[in-house]
Chains A and B, each alone.
Chain A
Amino acid sequence: MANIISDETIEYVGILAKLELDGQERERAKKDIGEMLDYIDKLNELDTSDVEPMSHVFPVHNVFREDVVKNGDGRKQTLSNAPDSREDGFVVPKTI
C-alpha cells in the first residue's frame, strides 16, 4: 500500500469532518482510506496537463433571482425539527 494513513491524519481529518472514530473503526478507516487513495492514484497515469478542470458539464451561466421578497415568517417551519429550541432560537452549547 503506497498511501499510509497515520493516526495523526485520521485525527486531523476527524477535526475537519467532525468525526471521532474509536479503536477498531479507526484502524478500518486507516486501511480503507489508504486503499482508496492507492486506487485514486491511478489517475496519475493520465496526462492532464493541457486539460481544464470541468466542474459543470454544461455551459449554463447567469441563473438569477430578482430581488423581491417572497418568503413570510418562516419560524415555525425552520424550528419544527430542532432537537432543542428556546425563544425561537436553536439551542447549542455555549460558543464563547
Chain B
Amino acid sequence: MSLMSLTAVELGKKIKAKEVSVEEAVQAALDAIAEKEDKVNSFVTVDAEKALERAGQIQKDIDNGVLSGPLAGVPVAIKDNMCTKGMLTTCSSKILGNFVPPYTAEAVRNLEKAGAVILGKTNMDEFAMGSTTETSFYGATKNPWNPEHVPGGSSGGSCAAVAAEECSYALGSDTGGSIRQPSSFCGVTGLKPTYGTVSRYGLIAYGSSLDQIGPIAKDVTDCAVILEAIASHDKKDSTSIGRDSYDFTSALTDDVAGMKIGIPRDYFGEGLGTEVRDAVLAAAGELKKKGAIVEEFDLSLVEYAIPAYYVIACAEASSNLARFDGVKYGYRTEEFEGLHHMYKKTRSEGFGTEVKRRIMLGSFVLSSGYYDAYYLKALRTKALIKQAFDRAFEKYDVILGPAAPTTAPRLGDSLSDPIKMYLGDIYTISVNLAGLPGISLPCGTDAKGLPIGLQLIGDCFEEKKILRAAYAFEQTREYAHSPLAADVML
C-alpha cells in the first residue's frame, strides 16, 4: 500500500510513530509526481531538492520534540497564487512567469509552522479566472478520473494532485467556487472557510472581497485539521477576523441527530444533471437516516448571483491586476515605443484571453457613467443575497445541495461559451458573495465513472456545523481512489 493513499492525518500519525520517516513520505510524493505528472499536469513548479532538504529539518524537529502536530512532516502542494519566498509563483500566467516572491503568504507560513513540507506549486486557471484549469499558460490539468475531462477550476491543479495522490493534501483558493467545484469534479473534499478566517496576505488577489484560502484533501478530518493549522487572525490582513475559537476538529462526530438541513428547491431546477441530483438527494437521505431533519425550502435570488458576481469580481480584478505592468516584476515585452506602449504590449502579451476579457469587463463596469448601473447594482444584489441566506439560517443549521450542476466536462468543451461556463458555478458563487463557509465532498459517481460532489453550506463562522454534517455523511461510504491514484498502487 502506498504512503500516498493515506490521508494527511494518517500519514502524520505514522511519521509521529516513527513508522515512516519524513524523507520517506516526501520521497513517496516526489516519486508519485515523477510518475504521474505527464498524465495529469497538476504542478507548475516542483522543487524536489528543497522539499527533501526541508524533510531532513522537519525530521529533526519531530525527533527533538519541537514539532508534534498532526501535519508535521506531511507533504503538501500549494496553489500557485500563494506567494512562497524563493519559490516561483506564477498564477499560471505568462506575466508572472519569472516571479520569485520575497515573502511567504501567511496561510503557507502557518502550514510551515505546523511542519508541512512544500512539494511545489499547483496549476490553476490563470489568475484563478476559470472553472476548468484550461486557461493556464502552462497547459491544462487533466482529471485523474479520466484524462479526457477537466479537473474543474480554478484550483484544478490542487484537486487533481490530491486525487492523483501526488501529495497528501493541498491548499486552494475559492473566489466563486474554485475549491468546491474542482473538489467535486476530482472526487476529493474541499472547504471554503468563512471570509476572513484564513489570512489573504500573500494570496495574489483576484476578487479581494470574495477570495478565501482553504484546504483540499481526501476526507473531512483532514480538512478540519488543515483548517486549524491555516486559520489565524492576521494583523497584516485588515479583513482577517479574530474568531472566538480555532477548534474545528471537535466537530468530527458522527452525530447529526436533530440537525436541521435545508435543501433549496432553487438548486434542483433546470440545468441540473439527473445523476447529480439523484446522488445529492441520496446523500440527504443518508443524513436523514442518521436523525437529521431534512426539509426543502425556497432560497430565492439564485439566478442573480452569477451576474452580480461577475460585476464585482471583474471590477476588483481589473484593479488588482493593474499592477502587472512590466515595471516591478514579471514579464516585460521586448520592444516598445514609450511608456504606454510598453504597458499595453506587456499586458496584452502577458495575459491570456479569459483574463483580458474579465479585466475589460471590470474596467467597463467601473467606467464613468456605468458605476451606479452595474457596480452599485451588483453590491445591492449582494446585500439581498446575504439577506436571503440570513433568513435561511434562521431555520436551518446547514444548507445542502450539489457543488456543480454536472460532473466534469470534457476538455475544450467549456471555453467556447463563457456564459455556459459561468453557469457551472451557480451553486457555489452565492456562498462567496455572502462570505459563508462551504464544503464539497464526494457522494457518488455518474455512469461515466466521474465523481459527483455534495455541497454543504453553513452560516458565517459555523464551519463546525458543516464539518459535522459532512463527517457524518462521510461515514456512510468508502473513499474512492481515482484510477490515476490506483495506477501506482500496483
Chain B residue contacts of A44, Cβ below 8 A: 377
Nearest CB on A from B360, distance (A): 5
Segment 30-89 of A: residues with Cβ below 8 Å from B: 32-33, 35-37, 39-46, 48, 51-58, 60, 63, 65, 77-78, 80-84
Distance in angstroms from A31 CB to nearest chain B CB is 10
Find out whether the CB atom of A17 lies under 8 angstroms from the CB atom of B330. no
Chain B residues with Cβ under 8 A from A60's Cβ?
Answer: 196, 239, 241
Main secondary structure of the interface of B (DSSP, over half): helix
Q: How many residues of A contact B (CB 8 A)?
A: 51
**What does the 1/0 interface line of A4-43 toward B look like (CB < 8 Å)?**
0000011011101111110001001100110111011111
Confirm or deny: B297 has a beta carbon within 8 angstroms of a beta carbon on chain A. Answer: no
Q: Counting CB contacts under 8 A, is A2 at the interface?
A: no
- Partner pick for B344 among A19, A32, A41, A46, CB 8 A cutoff: A19
Which of these binds chain A: B113-121, B164-172, B301-309, B445-453? B301-309
- Contact at A80–B102, with CB atoms within 8 Å? yes
**Which of B176-184, B279-287, B332-340 is near enough to bind chain A?**
B332-340
Contacting pair B384 A16 (CB below 8 A): no
Are A13 and B363 interface neighbours, CB within 8 A?
A: yes
Residues of the B chain whose Cβ atoms lie less than 8 Å from the Cβ of A39 = 306-307, 310, 419, 422
Set B322, B345, B379: member contacting A20, Cβ < 8 A: B345
Q: How far in angstroms is the closest Cβ of chain A from B75? A: 27
- Which residues of B, 179-195, contact A by the 8 Å Cβ criterion? 195
Known: A52-B380, A54-B379, A60-B196. A33 touches B99 (CB 8 A): no
**Is B434 part of the contact surface with A, judged by Cβ < 8 Å?**
yes
| Interface size range of chain B in the complex | 35 or more
Interface: B253 (CB within 8 A) = no
- Can you name the residue of chain B whose Cβ is closest to the Cβ of A28? B353
Instruction: Work out how many contacts link A and B, with CB atoms closer than 8 A.
Output: 163
- Inter-subunit contact A90/B380 (CB<8 Å): no
Chain B residues whose CB sits within 8 angstroms of the CB of A12 once the complex forms:
367
Residue of A nearest to B382 (CB): A54
A82–B311 CA distance with the chains assembled, in angstroms: 32
Nearest CB of B to A22, in Å: 8
B98 interfacial contact with A, CB 8 Å: yes
Give 20 new A-B contacts, CB below 8 A, not counting A13-B364, A46-B380, A94-B339. A10-B360, A17-B318, A20-B348, A32-B357, A32-B418, A33-B357, A33-B361, A42-B307, A46-B381, A53-B382, A56-B209, A57-B209, A63-B239, A81-B98, A81-B102, A83-B331, A83-B332, A90-B328, A93-B339, A94-B338
9 tightest A-B CB contacts, nearest first: A81-B329, A53-B379, A57-B435, A48-B380, A77-B102, A54-B383, A83-B332, A18-B343, A20-B344
Q: Identify the B interface with A (CB < 8 A).
A: 98-100, 102-103, 195-196, 209, 235, 238-239, 241, 301, 303-304, 306-308, 310-311, 318, 322, 325-332, 336, 338-340, 342-345, 347-348, 351, 353, 356-357, 359-365, 367, 374, 376-384, 386, 418-419, 422, 433-435, 460
13 interchain pairs (CB within 8 A)? A16-B367, A18-B322, A29-B357, A36-B361, A39-B306, A42-B307, A43-B304, A52-B383, A54-B382, A54-B386, A56-B239, A57-B195, A83-B329
